[in-house]
Structure 1
């Protein structure tokens, strides 16, 4: 498998220092030293001590096959909003699991992406779901197509921004704020509960629109705990509309919590660019606001 890395500056430096500055793991550098990964600048094969003097393009060729995954392919429909040789962003509908689990092993977003990639003739790729969403949450999901892309982007988690839209019940006391409530799994259910013994969880929100019985809010996660948004607003006394697990109103009527992963921004370490994608709100949000 071949990877391309862009060097934007003209600063002279060794390949080792360049990769270190790009937050490339020491594990990969060890593979380069052992000959399991070859690096080329044009036609010149490099070592870790080779000097890079100009801007240009590096080619990394891994001689190891991508580790096989026990994910079966599904022909179910997916909506791809961005794709390159390393990453893919899909727009997940509500009612679809992100990855296989005990209740569904053959038709999840991961299964469908596997089928999508195989249909393109891409056999030596994997499906690493990086930003999972709950079964009944819709919106953008980031996927890495190989283990290098998966591991490298983890070094840039501080540059990943996940922005959501949610319809919360009632009217919030403040138009914006930060919810700082530690979360822990409830021993008696699938819920997350606020407790001093829980893990730190930070949620920032801003009011966008008000309606007679609910409000549309913009949310940016500062941490990524399970059910974080749902549990935080339920703790405030404003559970998400349609959220049966956390006591939200109109759950049986709507069949899903009204939470949508609206925008996703992430740093692409291969190109050195910041990618930013958006997904429109599903029609069910507007219908719920009007009724």
Structure 2
């Protein structure tokens, strides 16, 4: 099936391979370059090279080929394991790591690392996503829980459905938020104007994010967000919805932002009931060094 995108003024002079890597979820730039070589990408119905510079009004059309079956490989990638027993693993995922393999990201994912670390992961999510109960975005760092058997998987998913899992994030957003506390209750679904993005839409799935302001900076605010639901890109979409998009967010934020490799978002706290013992477990991890350096930079500007 063909997908289409109408270039905006903000896309002017951007390379076509970079443009598509930005707007197609889970697509890498090298993957897009492969599509261009196979003539699967057209601009104004003409074949172009990867370095073609987009002009406002260009119509970019592409066809994503059928994915090839993935052969998962265990890879000796260092894992920051926060907790582990026979039922669950809690890991601190670094920014830049994809959670599970997909087209364009067959290797170097959290799943590849988990398969090397242990071979007893639940199979409920299929061959390509063993043990994965929930996800966080590639460029989001922080805590993630993984199921080591099917019983644990079912319990953790049930807790997510019941909204009893505690998930807190910290984020830096654009602008000064006037209210110290707030709740964003707005349904999220595919953006009707751009199928590569999510948006607040009437026919979307219910989504609730609670936030509180931690600190104000010139032009930016540090907030803590608590998820009641777990929709794709939920915090990123909700903060954009209230006109406070995340700093560094290439998909939902402004072009003029902090110089970051992706959105300023860190999953700092995770709490859930142990699937076997029923004991409440809660974990917290500090944000990575580049995140704390960014906060210090904003403080110094103040």
TM-score normalised to the size of structure 2? 0.68
Q: Does 1:111 align with 2:112?
A: yes
Q: Deviations over 1:189-215 (max 9, x none)?
A: 421111212111110000011111211
Structure of larger gyration radius: 1
Contact 1:201 1:225 in 2 (8 A): yes
Q: Does 1:141 align with 2:144?
A: yes
4+ residue runs over 3 A deviation: 123-127, 248-252
Q: Which residue of 2 aligns with 1:165?
A: 170
Q: What SS is found at the alignment partner of 1:115?
A: helix
1-structure distance, mates of 2:257, 2:109:
23
How do 1:200-219 residues align onto structure 2 when only pairs under 5 Å count? 200-219=206-225
Contact 1:73 1:106 in 2 (8 A): no
2-structure distance, mates of 1:282, 1:202:
26
Change (3 A) 1:90 1:238: same
How do 1:254-265 residues align onto structure 2 when only pairs under 5 Å count? 254-265=260-271
Specify which of 142, 164, 185 is matched with residue 180 of structure 1: 185
Contact 1:251 1:257 in 2 (8 A): no
Q: Which residue of 2 aligns with 1:85?
A: 86
Q: What SS is found at the alignment partner of 1:89?
A: strand
Change (3 A) 1:274 1:76: same
Aligned-CA RMSD value: 1.8
Unaligned 5+ runs, structure 1: 1-68, 118-122
Q: What SS is found at the alignment partner of 2:82?
A: strand
- Report the Cα offset of residue 143 of structure 1: 0.2
2-structure distance, mates of 1:228, 1:103:
23
Contact 1:241 1:250 in 2 (8 A): no
How many residues of Structure 1 are paired with residues of Structure 2 in the alignment?
A: 218
1-structure distance, mates of 2:112, 2:218:
41
Contact 1:98 1:132 in 2 (8 A): yes
Q: Which residue of 1 aligns with 2:253?
A: 247
Q: Deviations over 1:146-190 (max 9, x none)?
A: 112111333333321111111111111211110011111125242
Unaligned 5+ runs, structure 2: 1-69, 123-129
2-structure distance, mates of 1:147, 1:106:
24
TM-score normalised to the size of structure 1? 0.71
Q: Which residue of 2 aligns with 1:156?
A: 159
- Report the Cα offset of residue 124 of structure 1: 4.5
Q: Which residue of 1 aligns with 2:29?
A: none
- Report the Cα offset of residue 138 of structure 1: 0.4
Change (3 A) 1:249 1:218: farther
Contact 2:269 2:284 in 1 (8 A): yes
Q: Which residue of 2 aligns with 1:46?
A: none
Change (3 A) 1:284 1:189: farther
Q: Does 1:274 align with 2:280?
A: yes
Q: Does 1:223 align with 2:224?
A: no
Specify which of 132, 143, 148 is matched with residue 129 of structure 1: 132
Contact 1:241 1:249 in 2 (8 A): no
Change (3 A) 1:285 1:247: same
Change (3 A) 1:178 1:253: same
Change (3 A) 1:220 1:270: same
- Higher mean C-alpha deviation, range 125-134 or range 234-243: 125-134
